[in-house]
Amino acid sequence: MSNAVYYVEYKLKKGVSREDFLQASEKLNNGHLSKQKGYISWKQLYDETHDTWADFCTFETMEDVKSFEENSGNPCELAKNFYSFINLNSCKGHFFTVERSY
């Protein structure tokens, strides 16, 4: 069975501190995300040209990643803090199966 990825692209709110955002991300990862069923990794990507961020979260199965996404609708305090940095209207999320890795 293939791993699954939740990819979401977004922009931060105006005036947000990059360092504070990354600190909130690390706390969310260590305190919550990494404890979710099937969690493998979370990569945060940044496109300086378009001032756009992306999260690349890998899980063992599509069932695991979809369960995680469903539960995100009722966020814990660490997630609420993380979301407070993000312009939620800019979010675009996608689910992928990993077909091949090189």
Extents of the domains making up the chain: 4-97
Q: What is the pLDDT of residues 2-21, one digit of tens each?
A: 999 999 999 999 999 999 99
Q: What is the pLDDT of residues 33-82, one digit of tens each?
A: 999 999 999 999 999 999 999 999 999 999 999 999 998 889 999 999 99
Cβ contact 68:4 at 8 Å: no
Q: Which amino acid is at 80?
A: K
Kindly report the CA angle at 73 between 34 and 19, in degrees rounded to 5? 55
CATH number for region 4-97 = 3.30.70.100
Q: Which two tokens stand for residue 66?
A: 């979809």
Type and span of the H or E element at 24:
helix 18-31
Q: What is the pLDDT of residues 63-73, one digit of tens each?
A: 999 999 998 88
Q: By three-state DSSP, how is residue 70 classified?
A: helix
Please tell me the pTM assigned to this model.
0.91
Neighbours of 24 (CB within 10 A): 21
